[in-house]
Structure 1
């Protein structure tokens, strides 16, 4: 309340007292000040300080150039405690959930492989993600001012790993390259001694040497996004996909015939 009044009065003084400012700028700030000080509202509603709050249009700095953000241009307005703000884009648990979605930071999608880094033509390469480092990620956004308390928690849950070998001369396990998450939260299966004759549950078999270079294998995680918020609100948000590229060198198997 006091801050809004202070900012408005200071902004008015800066423009009104500056001889370099054009007349239309002075008229505009004067009209704005008059509306909240002497017009529709009286002295910035200071006497109703415990009965409500000023609402203002606020844009997400990461999305301020989007058409939706540009439409968020409503002048400050008063809302009594407990009343629903009369605007389409008023802050709701779902909007806070979307804000939290933009702040979700998921771990790197670097998979463990066996053999690591260098493999052989026609040799199945195992790939997996360990459950200890691969888990749900949550972010909470909240709005807590006089008489108003709204919050939402957005949770990203890993559901699958997509392997793209970086060449058409390869086969993926399973076919299509999408490895589903296991019941314990891991993806794929760690290679252990004695697994050489088994087919990996998640992996790649390269059919041609990478020569003097390496294939750019891409591993992409699909994260399922949902949210819960104030008043029992909740729902789903669009899945997120995040990936990284790893170099895989593939060599021919050398043999000597006698």
Structure 2
């Protein structure tokens, strides 16, 4: 019978943590083939699971240009306030498997020393919630763990993002596991239920962009006051895609995040230098290249993308940093889609600058 009040208040934090400690799913380690050269892996990754397969229904498969170990990729968001989701709710177990798992957790908690009084009462409420239809104003109860509907839906549970450093944020999905019929969306109040937008953000988080090494002329060694041409070949850079998908009985969604290079920023590694253009931002050409390759006879010209060093690097080198800005968009199940904050990724390369030697007669 439904009663008023929040289930979290009635259950109590300690009892809830004790019982659900074995049910909150942390995304497990990932395995995949080796990374492709420079452009990330064009291979599939999937979450692992323990020997009895209890994580199998919460796996997210990743493919395309993603990190080989499932960890954070090499792209930095241009929006310092943007973060991937710290946690979400995902399909967990069918009714019979959930009953076996949850009832075992409850019995274990009831037999834990010191779990009397309020904590013991809270555990009892949780047991009645899944066994005797004991519910709250916004949470219906279940009769015998919904085993009469086994195969017609799944219980959903929280998944923590292991790459979220803030433990409180990571554990903020603290609702009790809830039932969703096959083909139905989770109740609207579960705003953190897995959806294409979340998958797109997770693909963004794992995206592996190609390294940014510009071609220079002169090459690694240039002269003071001599324009150094810089360019990227159109065959090197193109759109990069990463896909995240979740497929379980009665529920299937996916999202593909696409990164398109839009500009190159050159930072000479010293204040004693000029960039071309003056902003240091070189835009991509219509054919996907950037800048212009140096050709014989260009020595007296100003490069469309390049640098002029105004002093020697001496016995050292200047660290030229080349950073690509990528425009990020995504598409997903149900014609969903949109934009995510621009991403950046840069690398450094050594440049030696020597004084021009003059012969005095």
Give the structure-2-normalised TM-score.
0.66
Offset of residue 133 of structure 1: 2.2
Offset of residue 145 of structure 1: 1.9
- State how far apart, in whole Å, the 1-side matches of 2:99 and 2:261 are: 47
Contact 1:64 1:70 in 2 (8 A): no
Structure 2 counterpart SS, 1:23: coil
Aligned to 1:224: 327
Structure 1 counterpart SS, 2:105: helix
Q: Any idea what the Cα deviations from partners look like across 1:134-187, whole Å, max 9, x if unmatched? A: 121111112222221111110011111000111121111111110111112122
Offset of residue 52 of structure 1: 2.3
Which range moved further: 156-165 or 38-47?
38-47
Runs of 4+ in structure 1 off by over 6 angstroms are none
1:114 matched to 2:197? The reply is: no
Aligned to 1:72: 173
1:50 matched to 2:142? The reply is: no
Root-mean-square deviation (CA, aligned residues, Å) is 2.1
Structure 1 counterpart SS, 2:158: coil
Offset of residue 68 of structure 1: 4.9
Aligned to 2:275: 172
Q: Any idea what the Cα deviations from partners look like across 1:67-91, whole Å, max 9, x if unmatched? A: 6544322211112233332212222
Q: Any idea what the Cα deviations from partners look like across 1:94-152, whole Å, max 9, x if unmatched? A: 11111111111101112221222211101111112222221211111122222211111
Within 5 Å, which residues of 2 pair with 1:1-258?
1=94, 2-17=96-111, 21-24=113-116, 29=123, 31-39=125-133, 40-63=141-164, 65=166, 68-86=169-187, 87-258=190-361
- State how far apart, in whole Å, the 2-side matches of 1:117 and 1:3 are: 63
Gaps of 5+ in 2: 1-93, 134-140
Which range moved further: 22-31 or 176-185?
22-31
How many residues align structurally? 256
Give the structure-1-normalised TM-score.
0.90
Contact 2:109 2:115 in 1 (8 A): no
- State how far apart, in whole Å, the 1-side matches of 2:147 and 2:300 are: 78
Which range moved further: 163-172 or 187-196?
187-196
Q: Quickly say closer, same or farther: Cα 1:67–1:242, change in 2 above 3 A.
A: farther
Offset of residue 33 of structure 1: 3.9
Which range moved further: 163-172 or 88-97?
88-97
Offset of residue 235 of structure 1: 0.7
- State how far apart, in whole Å, the 1-side matches of 2:127 and 2:208 are: 42
Q: Quickly say closer, same or farther: Cα 1:170–1:30, change in 2 above 3 A.
A: same
